[in-house]
Amino acid sequence: MSLDEELLQFTGTLHYYRHFTGLHYTDGIQYLAEHAGAYWLIDLVGSYQHKLRHVPFQIWTLTVNDDHTARATMREDDNQPTTVRQDIPYTDFPLPTFECYCIDNVLLLKSEY
């Protein structure tokens, strides 16, 4: 089973984890971080929350290029302009694209919404 398929199995959460920035995240995000070595992604989203506390619904997208560079972006809703854009010089993140939500300071998989 691929990581994409494994992540789709998360449709809710039993636990909320607390990041040192104050951000909370779900079982699905914890699974992603553990199995994709992506705790840095939680760090990235958490590092922006002090600037984005007025944005209750955030869509975060990670796009990984063939040369292992990536770009993380955040927008407030579909069809809205990008509010945050951060280039990542290297990643071994296993998925070419990944999208998740941060809702009221809780980071979660789209399937957990």
- Is the CATH number 3.40.1580 carried by domain 3-112? no
Domain boundaries, the chain: 3-112
pLDDT bucket at 35, cuts 50 / 70 / 90: very high
Instruction: Give dist(CA 113, CA 91) in Å, integer.
Output: 26
pLDDT class for 78, splitting at 50, 70, 90?
confident
